[in-house]
């Protein structure tokens, strides 16, 4: 038996026994003294482990089919979308976890008083847009537009 998911003895076409412990062909798990290596995810656990990420995904797909019906492909697509939704916030949190949150401030003088006010993220990179009343706005117009106004 190859120990891949959904490959029971009846469904697996391989005629080679693969070790459940190390994932190597030619011997059984009882005789194996090598370290664990999952044939499904290449993790450091036996292929029969219920902590295998691939096993947990397969179980989620089967649960989805049991509750919602549909084909295996539809269930797999729905579970993958759900897993991605769960991972997005974690990945974002990992990306910004570099240190404690800091508030960026800059000194601003208002009349006779200096205060520290928060800086907008893109304030330094944004360019002021000319209004329609300014001469620069009129310079950028084509001559036909100036005649119409």
58 in any annotated domain: yes
Structural domain includes residue 128: no
76 in Cβ contact with 60 (< 8 Å): no
SS3 state at 124? coil
Looking at residue 66, its pLDDT comes to: 92
Closest alpha carbon to 7 in 63, 18, 65:
18
Number of domains in the chain: 2
Statement: the pTM of the whole predicted model exceeds 0.95 = no
In a domain, residue 55? The reply is yes
Residue 129 belongs to a domain: no
User: What pLDDT is stored for residue 105 in this prediction?
Assistant: 46
- Mean pLDDT (10-residue bins), the chain, 149 residues: 63 72 74 81 83 85 90 86 61 57 48 52 49 52 53
Residue 88, domain extent = 50-94
69 lies in a domain? yes
User: Residue 140 falls within a domain, yes or no?
Assistant: no
- Whether 56 is in a domain gets the answer yes
């Amino acid at each position: 038996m190859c120990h891949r998911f959904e490959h029971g003895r009846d469904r697996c076409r391989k005629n080679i026994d693969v070790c459940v412990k190390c994932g190597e062909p030619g011997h059984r798990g009882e005789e194996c003294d090598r370290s664990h290596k999952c044939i499904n995810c290449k993790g450091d656990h036996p292929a029969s482990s219920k902590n295998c990420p691939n096993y947990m995904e397969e179980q989620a797909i089967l649960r989805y089919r049991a509750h919602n019906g549909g084909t295996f492909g539809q269930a797999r697509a729905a579970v993958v979308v759900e897993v991605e939704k769960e991972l997005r916030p974690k990945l974002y949190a990992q990306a910004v976890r570099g240190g404690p949150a800091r508030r960026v401030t800059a000194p601003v003088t208002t009349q006779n008083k200096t205060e520290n006010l928060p800086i907008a993220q893109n304030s330094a990179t944004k360019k002021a847009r000319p209004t329609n009343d300014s001469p620069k706005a009129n310079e950028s117009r084509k001559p036909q537009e100036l005649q119409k106004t």
